[in-house]
């Protein structure tokens, strides 16, 4: 546990304010925001979902490619 009593009053107040800020940012349901990284990953996944193609049985033949 953190011993705030050994710090000056100004430092104690700053730490308490910062703690309250972190609680509001990460714990409070009203102000909790999705991280941008997660949102970008979801959007990227949705974008590529529309291009899903079933490639079952597909074989790549390099020699046939060069014949054309």
Query: What pLDDT is attached to residue 23?
Result: 85
31 CB-near residues (< 8 Å, 6+ apart): 24, 25
CA separation for the pair 12, 5 (Å, rounded): 8
Q: What integer pLDDT is reported at residue 52 of this predicted model?
A: 74
pTM comes to: 0.40
pLDDT at residue number 38: 62
- pLDDT tier at 29, thresholds 50, 70, 90: low
Cα gap 4→9, rounded to integer Å: 9
**Joined tokens for residue 14:** 């700053």
């Amino acid at each position: 546990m953190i011993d705030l009593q050994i710090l000056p009053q100004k430092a104690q107040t700053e730490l308490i304010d910062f703690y309250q800020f972190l609680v509001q940012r990460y714990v409070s349901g009203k102000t909790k925001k999705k991280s941008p990284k997660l949102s970008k990953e979801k959007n990227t996944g949705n974008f590529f979902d529309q291009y899903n193609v079933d490639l079952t049985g597909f074989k790549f033949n390099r020699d046939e490619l060069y014949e054309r």
